[in-house]
Amino acid sequence: MNDWPYPRWVAHRGAGKLAPENTLAAFRLGAQHGYRMFECDAKLSADGVPFLMHDATLGRTTNAREIFGPAASDVGGDHAWNELARLDAGGWHSRAFAGEPLPTLENVSRFCLANGYFLNIEIKPTPGTERETGEVVARHADRLWNNAPVPPLLTSFRPEALEGAMATAANLPRGLLLDTLWKGWLETALMLECAAIVCNHALWDRSSVTQAQSAGFRCLSYTVNDEWAARRLIDLGTDGIITDRVDLFPPT
């Protein structure tokens, strides 16, 4: 990807912690703060619908136990979309967001495409479904953004998910997420034909940035919530900063 079309500043899970993460309410709040690019997490329902959710379980960010009962499975991948669509994904955050539903990837695509916003979709598979989730998310993203001027950036910590995405929609740009610089990270990103490396921001230094950029990758960072950290990354010449603090960093 020679031309990098994405803005530097990316709103984490919509609007960080100011609204219930991975909901359209969070996207709208991030947009109100001037953000034009959003990061979100996508996983699959039991019947293969990509929807937004970070955790492997539903309990932290929905009222799943109230709806399904305390003895019911709390794993998102065990429920069909028509069950997941009943959940409240906002009340856990605050009363102001009570009743906010889980969005599908299709819901989010409509919002982004209607407003000219950019999206980073982190493929977040339920354990054991890594390649399948990469394939399905990529297939839907390719359909939803068909002929859009800028495609979504697909990222994952799981190489198997990115392999699935590459096999299904090689035209969509990919990024390898890293929480450590494990042995072979650069070679893996090259094998997956990634456009970007997305690191825990503390991993970037002059050496790692030079390695990544010399291999042709863009350098992005998560989750940057302090001014000193953002300044360090800008001074290193990195390309993207994912933040919760949409209220602190104007997205210039």
Residue 94 and residue 105: Cα distance in Å, rounded? 24
Q: What is the pLDDT of residue 201?
A: 98
Q: Are 249 and 243 in contact (CB under 8 A)?
A: yes
Q: Which helix (H) or strand (E) holds 232?
A: helix 227-236
Q: What is the pLDDT of residue 72?
A: 66
Q: Which residues pair with 197 in a beta bridge?
A: 176, 219
Domain boundary assignment for the chain = 9-58+103-243
**How sure is the predictor about 60, in pLDDT bands with cuts at 50, 70 and 90?**
very high
**φ, ψ of residue 136 in degrees (nearest 5):** -70, -45
**How sure is the predictor about 246, in pLDDT bands with cuts at 50, 70 and 90?**
very high
Q: What is the mean pLDDT of the chain?
A: 96
- Asked whether the predicted pLDDT for residue 234 surpasses 90, the reply is yes
- Asked whether the predicted pLDDT for residue 14 surpasses 80, the reply is yes
Q: Indicate the class that CATH gives domain 9-58+103-243.
A: alpha beta
Q: Is 150 exposed, middle or buried (0-12, 13-18, 19+ CB in 10 A)?
A: middle
Tens of pLDDT, residues 64-119: 999 988 766 677 788 999 999 999 999 999 999 999 999 999 999 999 999 999 99
Tens of pLDDT, residues 167-194: 999 999 999 999 999 999 999 999 999 9
Residues 205-211 have a mean pLDDT of 98
Q: What is the pLDDT of residue 112?
A: 98
> Has 54 been annotated as catalytic?
yes
Can you list the positions of beta strands (E) in 56-194?
A: 118-123, 153-156, 174-178
The better pLDDT of the pair 76, 198 is held by 198
Q: What is the pLDDT of residue 188?
A: 98
Nearest residue to 223 via CA among 49, 48, 10, 28: 10
- Asked whether the predicted pLDDT for residue 160 surpasses 90, the reply is yes
Residues 208-227 have a mean pLDDT of 98
Both tokens of residue 106?
A: 């299709």
Q: What is the pLDDT of residue 71?
A: 63
Q: Which residues pair with 118 in a beta bridge?
A: 37
